[in-house]
Chains A and B, each alone.
Chain A
């Protein structure tokens, strides 16, 4: 037969054990979260374990950057001298056309280092839902930073990347008729990628300005 004296110590001990067990579980979970889950799922690697364990590529579909010849010892980021920025990478040109089907969307983005600039101009045959935004490399798309959102059919301007990552446009056709988009850009980017609504990624080939100028010199009728 149990008395109150028999029961009390057991109950107190269980509570302490439960608290201890919970704390251990939380510590284990937090450890695995920081060392494994965050690098693999979100590309966040605060302790560097993701890089050591080779988990970083799991955090998102890879972007295949175009090989860019960088002078030895030079960083691909611009060097600012007052109002002038010097870029140790090639000046690129890109011109693309898309046709967006009814209710469809796509994204077109460039890989730019922090401080790298580009000029752009795009026009569409109809009004589009549009979001000009950037994503840090390896970060989830949900963490994208929006620079300009508007329903419009054209935009022209210049852009200086506030952080290294992929930067560009989301265009959505809100209507039932196809809409064509023409985009022309120049700048200090190293890769371009088209991301369609089925989440497939299609790298685009970029051209250096030297190639374009060479084509003009040779009397090319049109630059696509």
Chain B
């Protein structure tokens, strides 16, 4: 009986976890690359804040809508990152676009 209940609970938790995992907001981070590690990109925004974004195998890296290698993500380059996360402190990049150097930042 205990075993049956354990299996039931585990299965229920698995099913419950699925919708939660997809309930993220989409963020856009615009700035210059401050640091890059194998699975993480640090972007310094125009406000001067540095935001860490995780990279994974699904992250699409592009320039002019064409896929480029991760090696193109070099320090100092301007990027537009669309990322998913529950907050700005835990983001996973969906797409990283390399763009021409950003113009002077306007105040919102």
| Docked CA distance A204–B78 (Å) | 31
Beta-carbon contact of B25 and A103 below 8 Å: no
Give every chain B residue within 8 A of A98 (Cβ-Cβ).
108
CB-based nearest B residue for A36: B16
Q: Does B69 have its Cβ within 8 Å of any Cβ on chain A?
A: no
Q: Which of A33, A37, A178 is the one whose CB lies under 8 Å from B103?
A: A178
Beta-carbon contact of B11 and A29 below 8 Å: yes
Beta-carbon contact of A42 and B23 below 8 Å: yes
Q: Does B107 have its Cβ within 8 Å of any Cβ on chain A?
A: yes
Beta-carbon contact of B46 and A25 below 8 Å: no
Tell me the A1-49 residues at the B interface (CB within 8 Å).
Answer: 17, 21-22, 24-26, 28-29, 32-33, 37, 41-42
Give every chain B residue within 8 A of A104 (Cβ-Cβ).
28, 30
Q: Does A160 have its Cβ within 8 Å of any Cβ on chain B?
A: no
Q: Does A101 have its Cβ within 8 Å of any Cβ on chain B?
A: yes
Q: Which of B8, B16, B23, B100 is the one whose CB lies under 8 Å from A24?
A: B8
| Docked CA distance A140–B27 (Å) | 15
| Docked CA distance A196–B30 (Å) | 12
Report the interface size for chain A: residues with CB under 8 A from the other chain: 31
Beta-carbon contact of B7 and A21 below 8 Å: yes
Beta-carbon contact of A28 and B8 below 8 Å: yes
Given contacts A196-B108, A198-B88, A177 and B103 within 8 Å (CB-CB): yes
Give every chain A residue within 8 A of B29 (Cβ-Cβ).
198
| Most-contacted residue by chain B among A29, A99, A196 (CB, 10 A) | A29
Q: Which residues of B contact A (CB under 8 A)?
A: 4, 7-9, 11-12, 15-16, 19-20, 23, 25-30, 46, 80, 88, 97, 99-100, 102-108
Q: Which residues of A contact B (CB under 8 A)?
A: 17, 21-22, 24-26, 28-29, 32-33, 37, 41-42, 98-106, 140-141, 176-178, 196-199
